[in-house]
Amino acid sequence: QVQLVESGGGLVQAGGSLRLSCAASGRAFSSYGMGWFRQAPGKEREFVVAFSRSGDSTTYADSVKGRFTISRDNAKNTVYLQMNNLKPEDTAVYYCAASRLWFSMIQDSYHYWGQGTQVTVAS
């Protein structure tokens, strides 16, 4: 089992940047595929980015491609989401998740979730 704790959210002006962190504890962090999802007010939670166990495969949602970058540091048991050129439509609670699968974009295949961190982008 793995526990996930997100941090780094906050309020930022449009065009600004934030870096989210997801610290993992528990079983071997490197054995999980990782992902970030987000949920905006009144909307369903949606996929943002998925990252394979090995770190050599990554897929981004079209809405964030070219602006967001995921990375992982297995030595620190941490996944990062660098978010640049933020837009008001990026406002949401961002969730880090871990999957026993090597790689997945499907929410239902993620077994462990963090509590979420709020990102608010002001126009």
Identify whether the C-beta of residue 68 lies closer than 8 Å to the C-beta of residue 97. Answer: no
Burial 79-98 (b: 16+ CB within 10 A, else e): bbbebeebeeebbbbbbbbb
Task: Give the model confidence (pLDDT) of 56-74 as tens digits.
Answer: 899 999 999 999 999 988 8
- Cite the DSSP H helix spans in the chain: none
Among candidates 70, 115, 64, 120, which has minimal Cα distance to 92? 120
Residues 71, 79: Cα–Cα separation, whole Å: 6
Q: Which two tokens stand for residue 77?
A: 């048991």
Task: Give the model confidence (pLDDT) of 83-94 as tens digits.
Answer: 999 999 999 999
